[in-house]
Structure 1
Amino acid sequence: MSATRLLVLGVVRMYGKAHGYQVRRELLSWRADKWGNVQPGSIYHALKKMTAEGLLEQVAEDAGGSGPERVAYRLTEDGETEFMVQLTEALASDEATGYSMSAAVTLMPTLPRDRALALLRQQLANMEAHLTATHYAREHAVELGKPPHVGELYRLWSAHAEANVTWMRGLIARLEAGEYVMAGEGEPAFGEPAR
């Protein structure tokens, strides 16, 4: 699961069509290089790769009379499907990394509220299972044949797991209370395609 892939698809989808520099500028304005590990060069690579895979198609975009014509991209039907698959997997899968989860939360408003809540509840179940496992490992490290100091690693993992569970419960509660504009709620939601 690639945060870069999801974010590039999401930005192109949001604009309807976008050239590489526009995608790069948008993602850097979000500071996705810091929280999503999105490197500027990987954006251009992702655009080319996803074009070769048929997820994006190139469209000419006029440079406005000065300079060369730029190549812009837009999602194909397969690209729209891939965007939704990547987004839903990142929100619900226990394989989601911190980078892909961050990307998915950024683009979460492109989903209807009920769909987002269902995916987040699945992720919460994954997080709670991970928390249980880290607590068990922390409490039984020596019995499991680990050196005593390795218990500190399990304490660190437990602290992260507890923070993740607390945050996810809060996010679910905020969405249930109607916070944030989500897809299909009348107003344009963040990340929805340009109209």
Structure 2
Amino acid sequence: MSSTRVLILGTLLDGPLNGYQVRRQLEMMGADIWANVAYGSIYHGLSKMADEGLLDVVESGKGGKTVYALSDDGRFEFYRLLMPFWYEIKPIVDPFQVALTFMDRLGKPDLLAAVRGRKEQLQMAIAMTERALGSKQRHGAPRHIDENLKLNIGMLKAQLEWCEDAVQKVEDDELP
């Protein structure tokens, strides 16, 4: 199931939009960060879902912008795809886990430098994300959008905690 597909369909629940407006709505929600939405895929997705009958073209040609509206089939498809997201636990694919897999291939100084460097990056990411809390509402996003940021902060903090523990273990020759 494509998250981008659900995001596009869900964005159109509030009414017809063109591709640029869909993109702006997703940016306002921060989907570029937490959902890894490739914005070029929005336009392709809109066209494909219109071909599938999930979207209706309500306006075409004005300035080259096509306006799409959710069809009844599209509304059904949105809920059909959305509900499993609430119940399915799927692994989070993170390249950092690849690095962890091969931590034994690094010498102690390099490993310590890498983990300490990651700690600094995590601390900056946490601070930046915490500063973003509440800012989306000033641009019209619903307040529950902050819950994505709070979840992201929690995951970053968990990784930071692991890094702090790992530094001590590497220094004490308990890792790798």
For normalisation by structure 2, the TM-score amounts to 0.49
Q: Pick the structure with greater CA Rg.
A: 2
Between Structure 1 and Structure 2, the one with more helix by share is 2
Structure 1 length normalisation: TM-score? 0.44
Greater RCO structure (CA 8 Å; 6+ sep) = 1
